[in-house]
Amino acid sequence: MASHLLGMVVEGPDDARTVPGLVDRVVEGAVPVLKGKLGRARSFCGLDANAPFVMWSAIHQYPVPRRHGHFGGKPGLEDARTAVLALRCFVARNPQPEAVVLVRDSDGKEAERRQGLEQARQDFAWPFEVLLGVAHPMRECWVLAGFVPESKREETSLAALRKELGFDPTARSHELDASSKTAKKSPKRVLDRLTGDDDEREARCWTEPTLGHLRQRGHGNGLAAFLDEVEARLVPIFSDAGTGDDAGAGLGPPQPCAPEGDEASAKVPSRS
């Protein structure tokens, strides 16, 4: 079966569990023949050898040309230059991915960060698909959108949180506040209350609810928009490409981003 290489830039390891799980849900829903087989049909990569993702905070350490100047005559918005740098690194990567997924927490700057990522996507004719996701205000809200009580204890915890917050945090997670981990409206605090800080319980929030449920609960927090990105930009890669057992045989092990000046970095777009 073909192995499709997908680059991934996220906030950290928790996002690197959630994002592939959501991607797989959409792809399997659109291409049923891949259900249960995506472990062989796709792999995620970062920029270093064998790394499955790269964090936003690490992007500036890679030696590719920085982005200067305006974007379409307008100043670069939040994250635009960092996103371009990340995409240039993936251009220089060998092997090069077929798509790059950029997922960022909004941290209260949803519109600005989304527009900045869009500026980066439109900045160059990238040789791969670029998918954007902005979790508003953070990844935990995407998980909360898929939380459905599984026990009396969880029902009681959710009811207590509804009373405490004045709204249902699973239906209106975008109204939570990422400014402090200990604040009453902290998505991290709310999610921990509901799942007991259990990674397996968290995972069931994005693997078990229907995609319709995730989209409905994810309209305000950016999840629905991200699922739409996957459907529009990534599903065709899996639908149209061959799935023969040796179709991905040419994929070698991930390599680090090449230093400036060598053959690989010469391919990096340096428009400024």
Which pLDDT band holds residue 255 (cuts at 50, 70, 90)? very low
pLDDT at 262: 33
Q: pLDDT band at 269, cuts 50/70/90?
A: low
pLDDT at 256: 36
235: CB partners within 8 A, 6+ apart:
26, 27, 30, 31
pTM of the model: 0.86
pLDDT of residue 91: 96
Residue 15 to residue 8: CA distance in whole angstroms: 10
Asked whether residue 178 carries a pLDDT value surpassing 70, the answer given is yes
Please tell me the predicted confidence (pLDDT) of residue 19.
98
Higher pLDDT, 13 or 272: 13
Model pLDDT, residue 71: 76
Residue 36 burial by CB count (10 A; 0-12/13-18/19+): exposed, middle or buried? Answer: exposed
Confidence of residue 159 (pLDDT cuts 50, 70, 90): very high
H or E stretch at 65: none
Q: Are 247 and 40 in contact (CB under 8 A)?
A: no
Between 24-28, 44-48, 111-115, 250-254, the lowest mean confidence (pLDDT) is in 250-254
> How far is the CA of 132 from the CAs of 234, 245, 246, in angstroms?
11, 30, 30
What average pLDDT score do residues 131-146 get?
98
Q: What is the pLDDT of residue 67?
A: 82
223: burial class by Cβ within 10 Å (0-12, 13-18, 19+)?
buried
Mean pLDDT of 182-208: 95
pLDDT above 80 for 128: yes
- What is the reported pLDDT for 92? 95
> Rounded to the nearest 5 degrees, what angle is found at the Cα of 117, between the Cα atoms of 112 and 122?
125
Does 246 score more than 70 pLDDT?
no
- Between residues 75 and 59, the one the model is more confident about: 59
More confident residue, 68 or 151: 151
pLDDT of 168: 98
Q: pLDDT at position 227, please?
A: 98
Q: Output the pLDDT for position 253.
A: 34
Confidence check: pLDDT of 164 > 80 = yes
The tokens of 181 are what?
A: 């981990």
Longest CA pairwise span in the chain (Å) = 61
pLDDT > 70: what percent of the chain? Answer: 88
Mean pLDDT, range 46-62, rounded to an integer: 95
pLDDT of the residue at 2: 57
Structure tokens at 245: 């057992």
Mean pLDDT on 153-164:
98
3-state DSSP assignment of residue 219:
coil
Enter the tokens of residue 266: 């010469």
Task: Say if residue 243's pLDDT is above 60.
Answer: no
Count of beta carbons in the 10 Å neighbourhood of residue 77: 19
Distance, in Å, from the CA atom of 184 to the CA atom of 164, rounded to the nearest integer, reads 8
